[in-house]
Every structure is written in C-alpha cells, then in structure tokens.
Chain A
C-alpha cells in the first residue's frame, strides 16, 4: 500500500507516507471522554459564576461586565476546564543545556495545576525527546561554543540597530555568502527571528491582486504573513497534488473573483517537513505543477534544513532536485543549527529587492554576533569544511536513528503518522486523559516527551511527538522504546490494525517489508 507512487517518474526513491485512519471505537470513546469533560466544565463554570467556587482564572473586571465578553469562546472554555487539568505536562522548567539529556526541575501542584511549587530537587539525565535538536548542535562545549565566545568578546552581545541603518556587520555578510553556498542558490539574506522571516517577507513579495495557494496545515507564521499581505488566499488539502492542480487550473481559467483579470502572481506556500504530522512535501510534483502553470514556489524548510538529505541540505537535496527550481527558499536556524533566526535564499534580484523592501530589514534589529558565529561554525561543520567528518557522521546518524525508531514503534503496534524518513515521529494518543497520563508516566520513567492536543491538532487527534536527534545513541533509543512499550501496554495505546512482520536483526538497511492484515 505504501509503495504505490503516482508520477513515479519524478521520484528517484520510494516515497513512504502513511496516515492510518482513526479506529471507529477509539473515535467514539474519545468523543465520550470530551463529552464528560465538557459537562463537568459547564458545572465548574456554573459554580464559579455563582461564587460557590473560587475563580482562579482571568475574568473581566466588575466595571467591564457589560462590555463584549472576552473569555466566553470555546478556546477559553477549553483552557479553563480541560487544559488546566493536564497543564503539568507543558512549560516544564529545565536547568541544563537541552541536548540528548536534560535536567528538569521537579515541581508539584497542590491545587490541581493552578499554581506550582518547586520541591527543590532536580531530575537529572532525563532523555530529551522534545527538543528540535536534529543534528545535536545544542551543546555547551565544542568548536561552536569556542568560536561564539571569541566573537562575543570581540563584537559584544547586541547590535542595537536594524540592517539598513548601523546593524550590518561583516559577520552578517560572511554568513549570507556561506548560507547561499550551503543551499546552492545565488544569494541569501538572514533575519533575527524565524517567525518574523515568514510574517514580514511574504507581505513584501505579494500584495493585493495576487493569489496565495497555501497548504492546509501550514504554520502560523506563514498564515500570518499571507493574511498581512492582503492577497487572496486559497487552501489546498494537505500534500494533495490533485487539489493543488485543481486550484491552479481554476485560478488560471477564472482569474480574479469579480473582474476576471489574470492574477498578478500565484505563490504556492508549502513547508519541507510539517511538524505536527511528520510528513514531507511532495516536492517533485509541486515543482512540475509550478512549471506547468507558471507560478512561484515558497518553500519553508524550518524543520527539514540540516535534517534531510544525504548532505544535510534539506528537502531539495533529499529528492535530488535543482535548488534553482524553488523560487524562494526560506528556513530557520533554530532547529538543526542550534542558533536563532531565519534566512531567505533565491536569485540575486529577489534578495536585493528584499534587502530594500522587507519589513524585517527596515524595522527589526539584526542578528546578534555570537549567534551569527554559531551558525557559521555549525554550517561549516555540516559542509565538512572545517576538516573533520563530524557533520557528515551526524547527518547519517540522524537518518539511521529515524528509520530504526520509526520501524520499531510501528512493529510494536502504535499508530505513527508521517513519512518514513522524517525525524519527527507523532504517536497517536486520541483520548484526553491519555494525553496527561502519557506525559506523566514518561517523566516518571525519566523520559521527557512533548504531548500535543487541541488547538494545535484537530480535537480528537491528539498525539505525542518525538523529535529525534543525531546525539541520541542506540542505548538511549532502546531505553526509550522499552519505556514507550511499557507505557503503551499500561495505557492501551497500541491501536494499529496493520501488523508489520518484524525484520530479522539487520542493522539499519534500506529494506522493504511485508505488511500483513491482523
């Protein structure tokens, strides 16, 4: 089922992506659970309204009771009554560098998660499955740290100016040339904040009279940038090329809504790896469609740069395509490079235009010098230019870890979403009580995971998200898998109805597997 590839001639390697359907019984029970919690939520709201219970959340002041209500919509109801009950799985304070292992501060709550107190103990050596530390550059010692410390003493910590005024350092120029060489594009520009890269540059590229075709599950920064630009936005189904082609055809044939004039520009917004699903964009097909209908492509490689591809150059390298086919290549340095900020790469005319007209270049402070040096050192490490093979080894180790971890979890019988090669592994939980229980049970066993529910995911599809790293050794992965197996049996999380035949003990091969129906 997974090996059938449409447009097979465009893909040089098998594209294995699966989103198993929610079992009917599980969906019914999840709705039942949410129904019970909603009833109790109404009861608690009633008690808070009539002062039977002390109200600990935010409410309007007495003088504002006649104004438009601020806290009556569903999201606030959900926050007060459902999120508060399981809040101890989020915002956990850590007190060491978040590498492969992290130290966490222990905290307890005596009033059901409304307030927390610290016991004073530190939980040491928690295996970190939640940081976007794909290549393991979140370290406190090593070449990156030494170089960044040197630049800190030379340039200071802050720039205190925008790129266009006094904030353009020679370090920034060096970084931009390096990033352009890394991506294989003509020119690149970097910004201080990854979110701002998207939200401030899309308005500079498109405006009224243009059309934006954006994927269903795009990140909030892309959605915000698209809305700020004032262009017409149309949504196509997630990673669905038939839906995209239909929208493109309709756009070309019918033009703008009332005047029927042709669109000034059509921009397709996609991401390299979608962080909630773990799916990889069908880039060869998107590029073929873009060329056929003469539109532009904006690729957001926040999670895929450094994490995919044989040389770590992202999703374009993974599919073996030409970087010049993508018009605007955007990415962030937050995930694989252990720094902060974002970049946009493309043709020289485009980047020169963005240097003048981007909102971020005009108004936002430029990147801090030690951060720039961290990025320069880590990019050189990945490219192998500093002489060592650490970068290449890490890229390979991440790919091995990904395939091993995903295969083992699928064999155990969990429902795992996404592509076989993506280092983001969402494990489906569905029921609201299991979200809190999973987070707590894993922390008891010294493993830190991120659990996600509404509103980041659809309401019944809550999940636990594992982010793999190149610094996770096989022992750490095996220990995590053992604990996940145990917790899965304890909480009954093994919903999958497809049973994989377990492979014989062949280490990290690229193999096919038979699938048997249970």
Chain B
C-alpha cells in the first residue's frame, strides 16, 4: 500500500514539474529534446560537484584551521 501511495505521489510530483516547465504542452519529440538537455545538464553539474566539492571543502577547512591556529598562538603569547 505504501509503495502504491509513494508511486502516486511521485507521479503527482512529476506532473507538477511538467506543468511548471510547460513540458505538458510539448509534443513528444520536443519532450525528448527537453528532458535530454535537462538530464545532461543535471548529470554534468552532479559530476562536477562529485569531483571538485571534496577538494574545495578540505581547502576551506584548512584555511579556517590556519586562521584559528594563528589566533590561538597570539592568545597564548598575550597570556604569557
């Protein structure tokens, strides 16, 4: 029963996507073109994210550590 509700809900979500992007009005070959373009762009974005985001996050983390590291040393010297 839950699977059926889930499938209905997903179908309804897909219908909302179709209405908002006006692919509800397109002929089948236009829909194929539109979905191909969208899925390609989405795939490229996700692939780029998969490759570059961990590197960016670790670089940002190191930068933050560098900042905090300096502050810690300064604080220690003043206390002394």
Contact = CB atoms under 8 A, between A and B. Distances in A.
Contact of B25 (A29, A37, A490, A491): A37
B68 to A, nearest CB: 39
Contacts of A432: 22, 25
Contact of A437 (B12, B19, B26, B27): B19
B77 interface: no
Contacts of A29: 20
Contacts of B15: 490
Contacts of A492: 16, 19
B21 interface: yes
A310 interface: no
A433 B22 contact: yes
A366 B53 CA distance: 79
A279 to B, nearest CB: 28
Interface in A430-454: 431-434, 436-437
Which secondary structure dominates chain A's binding surface?
Answer: helix
A432 B20 CA distance: 8
B19 A491 contact: yes
Given A433-B19, A437-B19, A36 B34 contact: yes
Which secondary structure dominates chain B's binding surface?
Answer: helix
A437 B23 CA distance: 12
Interface residues of A, number: 19
Given A36-B34, A40-B30, A85 B25 contact: yes
A32 B26 contact: no
Nearest to A435: B25
B51 to A, nearest CB: 28
A112 B24 CA distance: 12
Interface in B23-65: 23-27, 30, 34
Contacts of B30: 40
A223 interface: no
Nearest to A434: B19
A33 interface: yes
Contacts of A34: 22
Contacts of A40: 26, 30, 34
Contacts of B19: 431, 433-434, 437, 491-492
B38 to A, nearest CB: 10
B20 A37 contact: no
Contacts of B27: 112
Interface in A3-34: 29, 32-34
B48 to A, nearest CB: 23
B9 to A, nearest CB: 13
A36 B21 contact: yes
Nearest to A26: B20
A433 B18 contact: yes
From A29, A32, A433, residue with most partner B Cβ within 10 Å: A433
A159 interface: no
A428 to B, nearest CB: 15
Given A431-B19, A433-B20, A433-B23, 5 more contacts: A33-B20, A36-B21, A37-B22, A85-B26, A86-B25
Interface of B: 12, 15-16, 18-27, 30, 34
Interface of A: 29, 32-34, 36-37, 40, 85-86, 112, 431-434, 436-437, 490-492
21 contacts: A33-B20, A33-B21, A34-B22, A36-B21, A36-B22, A36-B23, A40-B30, A40-B34, A112-B27, A431-B19, A432-B22, A433-B18, A433-B19, A433-B20, A433-B22, A433-B24, A433-B25, A434-B19, A436-B25, A490-B15, A491-B19
